[in-house]
Amino acid sequence: MSFITTSDILKEAEAIRPDFERSVHKLAYEVKGILFSEMLFIEAVARIVGATRLVESGTARGQSTVILATRFPHCPILSYEHDADSPDVAVARARLAGLPQVELCFGDAVRELPRVVTPTDVVLIDGPKGFRAIRLALDLLGYCQPKAVLLHDVGRPSHERAFLESAFPGAVYSDAPEFTHAHHSLDTGVEEAIPLEHRYGANPEQTYGFSVGCLFYEPHIAYRWKRMQASWTGFWTRSCDSIKKIR
């Protein structure tokens, strides 16, 4: 696959936005959910790479799942949730009723996804978080070779984002200024869900929203080596943060 850039995603997002808005304008926003503008970014990626199945980790109340199912009505969707006893499950089930292409699965995605992901899938990880999510993404890219893995909550400034930017210069992010400038208006009405410092225009050093990062599968990348680097960086940054807290 050739190199996919932010401009490719911008072009695709611009083309699909009118239809996206028509489909999602009646959908309510559920707490913990991925923002509408971030879902547009995810959809643009999935369309560019030609995903034939979507695999999601972290269903919660089904905000991202219901948008994916609405926008990809003919595409099978597997959505994994760790916490089968959460009250969120009933909310997700109610929202997803009548969307037969969605299969709700329960279990730890860290164990389950490597068993089910295939090379024609696009994967969205929105739980686990942090370096655990990055390690899962790299395991999937190394062993299952999906077309792309999208990681939610990799905003700036964070250790995770710094790692991704240095280890994966080809990664693209929904908080790219051109993208947020063009599409933050999709989140009008749900600003309260966004922490003050991450609202549009609040602080140029910080990400807009929560940010989605995308790693495309590239055969020449040594994912197992990068995975070791992620483990080490995660351990090191956690240790440094603990020492700072003690002082």
Shortest Å, Cβ 246 to ligand SAM: 28
Residue 99 or 221 with smaller CB distance to ligand SAM = 99
Residue 143 or 225 with smaller CB distance to ligand SAM = 143
Residue 127 or 161 with smaller CB distance to ligand SAM = 127
Residue 65 or 233 with smaller CB distance to ligand SAM = 65
Centre a 10 Å sphere on the Cβ of residue 74 and count the other Cβ atoms it contains.
6
Largest CA distance in the chain: 55
Stretch that binds ligand SAM, among 62-70, 115-123, 194-202, 215-223 (CB under 6 A): 62-70
DSSP assignment of 68-102 equals HHHH-TTS-EEEEES-TTSTHHHHHHHHHTT-TTE
Stretch that binds ligand SAM, among 18-26, 43-51, 58-66, 232-240 (CB under 6 A): 58-66
Question: Which residue has the CB atom at the shortest distance from ligand SAM?
Answer: 127
Shortest Å, Cβ 99 to ligand SAM: 14
Q: Count of residues binding ligand SAM (CB under 6 A)?
A: 22
If binding is defined by CB under 6 A, does position 128 make contact with ligand SAM? Answer: yes
Residue 102 phi, psi dihedral angles, 5° rounding: -95, 130
Dist. CA 138–CA 151, nearest whole Å: 11
DSSP assignment of 26-46 equals TPPP-TTPPPHHHHHHHHHHH
**First and final C-alpha spacing in the chain:** 49
If binding is defined by CB under 6 A, does position 34 make contact with ligand SAM? Answer: yes
- Name residues whose C-beta falls within 8 Å of residue 22's C-beta, 6 or more positions apart in sequence: none
Please report, as residue ranges, which positions from 104 to 123 form the binding site for ligand SAM (by CB under 6 A): 108-110
Dist. CA 194–CA 84, nearest whole Å: 26
Are the C-beta atoms of 211 and 153 separated by less than 8 Å? yes
Residue 26 or 245 with smaller CB distance to ligand SAM = 26
Residue 15 or 90 with smaller CB distance to ligand SAM = 90
Contact residues for ligand SAM (CB under 6 A)? 30, 32-34, 57-58, 60-64, 80-83, 88, 108-110, 126-128
